[in-house]
A = this chain, B = another copy of it.
Amino acid sequence: MPTYRLDISYDGSTFFGYGIQDNVRTVQGELEKALNPHTGGANTVVAGRTDKGVHASAQVVSFESGELDLARVKRSVNKQLWPDIAVKSLIEVDAGFHARFSATGRAYLYRILNSPVHDPLRAARVWHIANELDVGLMNDAMSHLVGEHDFAALCRRYKDRSTVRTLEWARWNRSDDEISLSIGAEAFCHQMVRSTVALAVTIGSNDIDPDAVPDILASRDRSLTNGVAPAHALTLVAVAYGAPLPRPTWMQGVD
């Protein structure tokens, strides 16, 4: 059977996460429901399962199915899923392509509004923090995370699953009243980005020294890292297959 690749985006605020579950509205559940009349019930796989509330501007899904009229299926699925999910493209790919296992990189963006007053027009997409954060300290902390480490202190634990990952980059950038984290890796463990954000905010608030980060990682103790940042400000922005992950323009020339 042919293999297909879907590139989608979604607003995570109306879903109970990506992965299908009984009795709640999920991205995968809605997507498969919309595809079923065309595929006869194909199972889909996804590059990065996002948690409840997390958005994606560039998620990748694959599935096997009999021959499809690609333009017609894309149009039909978009009509059914508007406005919360969009299919940006639907193409046939080489047999063996697997949205999750073929992926060689994932990138996320986390947005913080760092301003004394909140902003109603960005409230759904940013975490509002009123006290001024020190971006320099936050980036000092990030430099201790880049590379291969055991990220147990920053991940939800599952028995027998490794928490060793290689972080390719993690960098905070200030633009006007927003500071945002761009972070990329071959793969992340569960809650790793939001735990990294929570730790960075603690450091940016002068509550932990950035040079304590290596000891925190070595401890593998999650109680040291201040929980997880809110989901609604996190977006999956890129998935790579073979080619390097695209970095934001402002990161070019930055380590």
Contacts and interface: CB of A to CB of B under 8 A. Distances in A.
Interface string A89-111: 00000000000000000000000
Nearest to A55: B121
B118 A82 contact: yes
A132 to B, nearest CB: 17
Q: How many copies does the complex hold?
A: 2
Contact of A120 (B11, B120, B121, B123): B11
A87 interface: yes
A65 interface: no
A60 interface: no
A10 interface: yes
Interface string A1-19: 0000000011100000000
Interface residues of A, number: 22
Nearest to A57: B121
A57 B120 CA distance: 8
Nearest to A78: B117
B120 A9 contact: yes
A247 interface: no
Interface in A111-129: 117-121, 123-125
Contacts of A85: 120
A238 B85 CA distance: 33
Contact of A88 (B87, B88, B117, B124): B117
